[in-house]
Structure 1
């Protein structure tokens, strides 16, 4: 049975300054928002964050950015966040922009124990400058190293007490691959059920990848609300 933390503060208690964290989500969909808020309250700093993006100015990873807790971010998208733009332009934060598909594969490969792979994405651009390339079947490919993290913070809709996870719709995004690529995976979930209640064919992350669970309610904010005139 997996550890079920009594509070979000307890769930992230061993995360220290300088840690590398993978954080699930796409925009604000599927982010472990309460774990992020607990990190903001704890005040850990010099973090390396691996995530698709960095939230918005006042929510999600934007909270850590505002508190200047992030030293480096590896991401594919930096829009919707003015503070992110400001810190990147002033050199207050190191940003490693990565094509979205490449980022996903770097994480997936890390979880699978694959140290590196070749991809056509980025060939002939500044991304490939001073990087190793190789030609396969007449086409040039760029070598990319995989990614792992000290901790993966993810969101799932439901878990059982052995840590098996089920996600809700598009909240799957980066969460399943990050669950496999973290040395310690902490899952924020909406519900925990008894072992056997999840049908085996519905399980999307096996419990072997999950070390810690925390149950709670998410605000599930809308990133950009659009209404008719």
Structure 2
């Protein structure tokens, strides 16, 4: 009897330990409103972007997680067309230390270190199901944007796609609504698969020059100016 109780306790411990080590596969899609867009270039950009689906994986180990893009393209997607896709690179998150580390490759490797943003979620009354799990709805809204998240209370992992989280459960669907002069648009992450990986280990991104978000934004701005100057010089040379 004692051996049976020990075995039951051990199995219970292993199951609960393994539940902290989870891999979530997401798909991402833009939905740009094209009903009032008049600029032909922007219209084509929005149309192409609405056809693209990109994929991501979220690796979770208790209070740490890594979110990264997956190089996978549908056969129907023509990547040579100009389009707006989802975020690229690798993001490391730590709920205990509040660390946010982004590994970027922008004309060189960079490690951007910051602190996690705090989102003041409002948990709504609506409930649903996703991948067989019961879900609840949470929202956030300010003057510029709106978030809608569906999370799984039975999976008490406070993570979600692209750094969003800190709800009482894993986020399995996340939509970011935003407005501009061309209409109301949204972008959505949807979990396609959730699996338990008992051997999972999280590693912080370490390859690259360490900079702050402000410093990285300045680097991007300077590089964009250089690219624009090169582009303009080529045009002037052709005219001459």
TM-score (norm 2): 0.28
Larger fraction in strand: 2
Greater radius of gyration (CA): 2
TM-score (norm 1): 0.29
